[in-house]
């Protein structure tokens, strides 16, 4: 129970140690450390003359004034008052209670305020004990410090919620699964369960989780205070995909665009962490985790589904995926001489197998692509923090990572009746990164906080591979590009970047905070990659440098209890330059080929008003305006053989994205038994590019609406009723020509939930829930529409 | 089967009427009780105690908080209670503090890592994004806000700004290793970050893309057309006029490996 706040604490600690040495001469069983010579025992309140009952007289004092800091979790100075054994054991500096001798017990000296800087509870942490309370404590110690309140052992609680129900869907059931992340049909199991057992004063076991159809989670936690813990678990759920997709021409039948597959990915992870939390030792965690994804996912790499003459039906495609990552973990947290040390190590063994077939790709051409990838990546970060002064805090970090990868690739392309089998059986990649940063947080002046940091990163990456692959397509068309030729692949990447951040926060204006933040980043990348083939090489040099500026200024003010207003303006600018070296590639045309520079500029303004005119009504209004410009500066470019000038030189605005978001949210509690919350958001946005006047492209614009509302009503002492609704609608279209596939998206989605919950006695709660989900998508010809009704009944049982 | 505006109004009207009628019926018919509803982020019987009380037990978080993005709202003397500071996200803390030392104190404080409602209360536009058809499963409880965001600004592995060690795309790479591993032919767009093409909270488009058509790519790849290209439409030095009518750049078997490729410089596979 030491909370010495300043330098004089050191002196008093020395004095106390001296006192402990003196006192230890006269006390065999205990080592109280109060400087006895400085204690005037006559100032101690007299001990109570009553017979002490610990539970009645002492425990309430501990609960109110002591256990906040001297409980089992993170006890100050290692002193715990949650059991007799720990109380008599004392803390880091020795014993605090000498049974039978309250006048010599530091606990009494501290609570009576007789030791400078050691008043317990400390100022600001609780009211000083009264003389009567100190008298009770004295009497308790004088009577031998009996502890008739047994420490909690074998306490337990059990809670589990069996649930049964199901969903019926009319329409596209797969779309229902995709949007709601759960399957249709009968469902049930344990909605949630929790078993807790306190097996000893310092040991607890917790088992929790849920087990539903295609959705499981189990967590096991075993903790022993001052020793360590085991945390382990497994979770798995599915991400579902509709098997429709692509773009459907209005004249087509919906069935033409169905894959007729049950597409889903199973996502999961299993983990176990062993932690060591010995007093005065670093906190150590050793862990293992396995992350996995497997199954078939819908892909947006859609293929042509119509006839060659009318290729405006773009049909769905899927991709098989099997990914697994073994992760070894090591965490260390320690504090040495006021420096907080945090180290994190991750070792990842990654494995990937993918396969996809695109039967309709580019007309009569189909692709069958298989890829594998394995890598090991080791990464370690170490971070140091220190509070040098009350107004100065600093931290520094360093990250190192190294990755070694092996990949293989096969692609069998069929063009009419001819197969072209390409492969690159061995591709190796290596990546190494160093990142270091320093940060400083300063608050020397009242109401002014400054923080800043600098970070530097160096990443080097190399890749090499060889095999037999299709010819590089350039501007040729199949089958000229499908011939298989020997290939050598090379890549070299060298990145150096620096980032500086600074932030200022000023709070001296009453009820207001002003802030300004800036982030600067300078990036320089040397990069070459090549695909060397006997019939023509691809080789690009994409050297790159960039300067990024991101600043934000704003304020937040709350001058009245009923109102808060905040606003900010942000500008993000990223200028990229492509310092060209070597002659232009005659055929290649990698991205920067004839571009000299590129600029990305975002302006963002956001305001938010929170109004609470009365206790039962709170409304938040916000609006955000966002504009992003994409601009290029290019050299003239022409085909060296045909002499067609396909792009003149110039600086052009290549693209612009604009959006506005208007939101309103309300929380309403007009009656103690009624709670209502609702929000509505509207976002119009538009994307246009330099060539949007073309009938093939056109600007893309539309509106998105989103709303949700929920309310809860207390029906009676034992029953609640809740009603919720969420909604979203969008209508986006591209103004393009009649020969182009329709990329519109227009949909409307509603979800309504009504639930009745009732308690039966102290330990049982029943809940009946009904959901109605509705989805209508005119842009897919109604093929993805559905209506779904869901009923779930849940019983929650709780012991004791 | 496109719904007319009239039918839409009917649906809204019916739902509103049903909700109002149900609420009124329940109000009038339920038996009396003095039990009050516990609104989200409220903790029954708890009151606001202020940030200073939190510092005693959570010094490592409190001392770096002034450098976090959330400190933009925290003046320390706001008039509206519970609108900024620790308790604006974690709920009123008096009972949590009172339980300290006796175990079970986590039952009396809000953990936004387990319930996104704490975040949505201020980030209402984000809540709206999560209600769009394609979204990360946060509302469904399979993910949480803190998997990607560090609200206190101190975790070295999360790019929350402040004192964190921020690295491009690192947050997404925790789960999407396939897309963020090294490749022979790197798509330079990855340098701008995943959010140039993806809207991570939610989107109306498949794969949470920010646009669903070729405008997504042409924002960077559009170029002025030369005077002699005629009806052609060049991107790079290739006439794409016959390809663009397939709707996007990554459909119809073209640039399908758009996150980067080990074998094809134009990301065909």
Q: How confident is the model at residue A21 (pLDDT cuts 50, 70, 90)?
A: very low
CA distance A24 to chain B (A): 30
SS3 B221: helix
Q: In sequence order, which residues have a C-beta less than 8 Å from that of residue A523 and are 6 or more positions away? A: A495, A496, A497, A544, A545, A546, A547, A548, B191
Confidence of residue A19 (pLDDT cuts 50, 70, 90): very low
Give the three-class secondary structure for B25.
Answer: helix
Chain segment B47-78, per-residue pLDDT in tens: 888 888 888 788 888 888 888 888 888 777 77
Is the Cβ–Cβ distance between B48 and B88 less than 8 Å? no
Question: What's the confidence (pLDDT) of residue B162?
Answer: 43
> How high is the pLDDT of residue A23?
39
pLDDT at A178: 95
pLDDT greater than 70 at residue A128: yes
The pLDDT score that the predictor gives to residue A32 is 46
The string of pLDDT tens digits covering residues A287-346 is: 999 999 999 999 887 777 666 556 667 788 889 999 999 999 999 999 998 899 989 899
List chain A residues with CB under 8 Å of B183. Answer: 429, 463, 491
pLDDT at A687 exceeding the cut of 50: yes
Express each pLDDT in A460-500 by its tens digit: 999 999 999 988 876 666 677 788 999 999 999 999 999 99
> Smallest CA–CA separation between A40 and chain B, in Å?
31
The number of residues making up chain A comes to: 800
Query: What are the angstrom distances between the C-alpha of A185 and each of A163, A303, A574, B253?
Result: 14, 32, 50, 36
Concatenated DSSP letters of B160-214: -STTS---TTHHHHTT-HHHHS--SB--GGGGG-GGGTB-SSEESSGGGBS-SST
Which of B63, B177, B222 lies at the smallest CB-CB distance from A655? B222
For A761-784, how does the pLDDT look when each residue is reduced to its tens digit (9 = 90+)? Answer: 889 999 999 999 999 998 888 889
Look at residue A568 in the predicted model and tell me its pLDDT. 96
Which range, A255-259, A360-364, A587-591, B90-94, is most confident?
Answer: B90-94
Most confident of A69-83, A732-746, B135-149: B135-149
Residues with Cβ < 8 Å from B199, sequence gap 6 or more? B129, B208, B209, B210
CB-CB: which of A554, A699, A737 is closest to B72?
Answer: A554
Mean pLDDT of chain B: 80
A501-556 pLDDT per residue, tens: 899 999 999 889 999 999 999 999 998 899 998 888 888 888 889 999 999 999 99
> A313-329: string of b/e by CB count within 10 Å (b at 16+)?
bbbbbbbebebebebeb
For A547-591, write each residue's pLDDT tens digit: 999 999 999 999 888 899 999 999 999 999 988 665 555 555 556
Average the pLDDT over each of A431-435, A438-442, A635-639 and give the range with the smallest value. Answer: A635-639
The number of C-beta contacts closer than 8 angstroms across A and B is: 503
Cβ–Cβ contact B113 with A under 8 A: no
B184 contacts chain A (CB < 8 A): yes
Query: Cβ contacts (< 8 Å) between B236 and chain A: which residues?
Result: 589, 591, 593
Residue A255 pLDDT: 59
pLDDT of residue B19: 66
Q: Determine contact, residues B167/B191, Cβ cutoff 8 Å.
A: no
pLDDT band at B24 (very low <50, low <70, confident <90, very high): low
Task: Tell me the three state secondary structure of residue A456.
Answer: strand
Give the whole-number percent of chain A exceeding pLDDT 70.
89
Mark yes or no for CB contact B253/A301 under 8 Å.
yes
Tell me, yes or no, if B30 comes closer than 8 A to chain A by beta carbon. Answer: yes
Higher-confidence residue of B241 and A722: namely A722
Contact B212, A245 (CB under 8 A): no
Provide the b/e sequence for A245-256 (b: ≥16 CB within 10 Å): bbbbbeebeeee
Is pLDDT of A24 > 70?
no
Q: pTM here?
A: 0.87
Return the residue in A2, A65, A68, A452 with the most chain B beta carbons within 10 A, the one to mutate for interface testing: A68
Does B106 reach chain A within 8 Å, measured CB to CB? no
Mark which residues 32-61 of B lie under 8 Å from A by CB: 33-37, 39-40, 52, 56-57, 60
Residue A642: pLDDT over 80:
no
- Chain B environment of A350 (Cβ under 8 Å): 177, 181
């Amino acid at each position: 129970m030491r909370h010495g706040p300043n330098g004089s604490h050191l002196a008093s600690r020395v004095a106390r140690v001296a006192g402990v040495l003196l006192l230890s001469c006269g006390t065999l069983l205990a080592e109280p450390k109060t400087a006895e010579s400085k204690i005037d025992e006559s100032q101690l309140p007299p001990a109570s003359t009553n017979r002490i009952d610990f539970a009645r007289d002492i425990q309430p004092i501990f609960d109110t004034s002591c256990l906040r800091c001297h409980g089992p979790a993170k006890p100050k100075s290692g002193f715990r008052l949650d059991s007799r054994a720990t109380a008599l054991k004392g803390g880091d500096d020795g014993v605090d209670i000498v049974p039978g001798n309250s006048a010599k017990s530091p606990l009494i000296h501290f609570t009576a305020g007789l030791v400078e800087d050691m008043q317990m509870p400390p100022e600001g942490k609780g009211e000083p004990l009264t003389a009567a309370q100190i008298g009770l404590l004295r009497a308790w110690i004088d009577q031998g410090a009996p502890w008739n309140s047994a420490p909690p052992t074998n306490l337990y609680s059990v809670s589990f919620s069996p649930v049964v129900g199901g969903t019926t869907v009319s329409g596209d059931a797969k779309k229902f699964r995709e949007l709601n992340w759960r399957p249709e049909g009968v469902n049930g199991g344990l909605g949630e369960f929790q078993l807790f057992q306190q097996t000893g004063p310092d040991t607890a076991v917790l088992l929790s989780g849920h087990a539903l159809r295609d959705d499981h989670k189990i967590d096991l936690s075993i903790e022993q205070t001052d020793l360590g813990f085991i945390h382990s678990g497994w979770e798995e759920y599915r991400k579902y995909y509709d098997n429709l997709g692509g773009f459907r021409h209005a004249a087509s039948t919906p069935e033409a665009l169905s894959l007729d597959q049950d597409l889903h990915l199973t996502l999961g992870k299993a983990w176990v962490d062993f932690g060591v939390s010995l007093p005065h030792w670093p906190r150590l965690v050793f862990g293992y985790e396995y992350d996995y994804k497997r199954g078939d996912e819908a892909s947006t790499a859609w293929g042509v589904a119509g006839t060659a003459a009318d290729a405006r039906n773009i049909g769905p495609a899927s991709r098989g995926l099997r990914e697994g990552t073994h992760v070894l973990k090591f965490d260390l947290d320690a504090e040495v001489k006021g420096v907080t040390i945090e180290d994190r190590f991750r070792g990842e063994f990654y494995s990937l197998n993918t396969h996809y077939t695109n039967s309709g790709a580019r007309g009569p051409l189909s692709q069958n692509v298989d890829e594998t990838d394995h890598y090991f990546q080791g990464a370690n970060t170490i971070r140091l923090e220190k509070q040098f002064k009350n107004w100065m805090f600093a931290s520094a970090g360093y990250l190192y990572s190294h990755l070694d990868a092996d990949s293989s690739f096969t692609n069998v392309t069929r063009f009419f009746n001819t197969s072209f089998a390409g492969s690159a059986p061995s591709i190796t990649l290596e990546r190494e990164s160093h990142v270091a940063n320093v940060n400083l947080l300063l608050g020397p002046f009242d109401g002014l906080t400054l923080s800043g940091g600098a970070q530097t990163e160096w990443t080097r990456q190399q890749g090499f591979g060889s095999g037999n692959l299709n010819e590089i397509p350039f501007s040729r068309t199949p089958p000229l590009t499908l011939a298989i030729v020997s290939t050598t692949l090379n890549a070299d990447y060298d990145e150096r970047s620096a980032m500086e951040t600074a932030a200022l926060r000023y709070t001296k204006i009453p009820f207001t905070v002003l802030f300004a933040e800036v982030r600067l980043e300078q990036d320089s990348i040397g990069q070459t990659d090549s695909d060397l083939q006997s019939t023509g090489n691809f080789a690009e040099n994409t050297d790159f440098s960039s300067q990024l500026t991101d600043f934000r200024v704003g304020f937040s003010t709350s001058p009245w209890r009923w109102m808060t207003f905040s606003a900010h303006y942000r500008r993000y600018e990223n200028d990229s330059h492509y310092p060209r070296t070597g002659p232009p590639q005659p055929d290649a045309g990698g991205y920067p080929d004839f571009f000299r520079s590129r600029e990305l500029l975002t302006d963002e303004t956001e305001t938010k008003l929170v109004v609470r005119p009365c206790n039962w009504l709170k409304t938040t209004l916000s609006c955000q305006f966002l504009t992003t410009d994409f601009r290029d500066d290019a050299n003239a470019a022409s085909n060296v053989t045909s002499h067609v000038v396909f792009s003149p030189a110039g600086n052009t605005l290549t693209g612009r994205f604009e959006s506005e978001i208007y939101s309103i949210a309300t929380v309403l509690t007009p009656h103690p038994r009624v709670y209502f919350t609702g929000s509505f958001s509207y976002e119009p946005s538009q994307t246009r590019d330099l060539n949007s006047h073309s009938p093939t492209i056109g600007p893309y614009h539309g509106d998105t609406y989103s709303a949700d509302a929920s309310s809860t009503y207390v029906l009676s002492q034992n029953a609640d009723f809740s009603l919720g609704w969420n909604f979203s609608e969008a209508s986006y279209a591209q103004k393009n020509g009649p020969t182009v596939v329709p990329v519109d998206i227009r949909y409307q989605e509603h979800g309504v939930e009504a639930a009745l919950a009732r308690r039966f006695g102290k330990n049982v709660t029943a809940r009946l829930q009904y959901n109605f989900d509705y989805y209508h998508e005119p842009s897919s010809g109604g093929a993805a529409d559905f209506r779904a009704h869901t009923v779930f009944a849940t019983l929650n049982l709780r012991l004791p | 089967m496109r719904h007319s505006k009239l039918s839409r109004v009917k649906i809204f009207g019916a739902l509103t009427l049903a909700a109002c009628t149900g609420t009124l019926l329940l109000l009038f018919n339920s038996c009396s009780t003095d039990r009050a509803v516990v609104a989200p982020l409220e903790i029954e019987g708890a009151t606001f105690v202020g940030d200073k009380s939190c510092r005693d037990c959570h010094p490592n978080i409190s001392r770096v908080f002034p450098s976090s993005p959330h400190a933009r709202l925290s003046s320390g003397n706001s008039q509206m209670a519970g609108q900024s500071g620790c308790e604006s996200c974690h709920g009123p803390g008096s009972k949590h503090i009172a339980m300290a030392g006796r175990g079970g104190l986590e039952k009396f404080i809000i953990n936004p890592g387990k319930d996104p409602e704490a975040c949505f209360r201020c980030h209402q536009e984000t809540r709206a994004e999560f209600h769009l058809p394609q979204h990360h499963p946060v509302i469904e409880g399979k993910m949480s806000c803190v998997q990607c965001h560090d609200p206190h600004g101190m975790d070295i592995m999360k790019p929350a700004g402040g004192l964190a060690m921020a690295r491009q795309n690192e947050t997404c790479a925790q789960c999407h290793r396939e897309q963020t591993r090294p490749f022979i032919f790197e798509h330079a767009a990855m340098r701008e970050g995943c959010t140039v093409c993806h809207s991570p909270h939610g989107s109306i488009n498949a794969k949470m893309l920010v646009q669903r058509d070729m405008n997504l790519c042409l924002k960077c790849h559009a170029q002025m057309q030369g005077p002699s290209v005629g009806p052609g439409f060049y991107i790079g030095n290739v006439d794409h006029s016959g390809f663009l009518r397939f709707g996007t750049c990554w459909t119809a078997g073209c640039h399908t490996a758009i996150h980067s490729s080990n074998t094809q410089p134009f990301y065909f596979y």
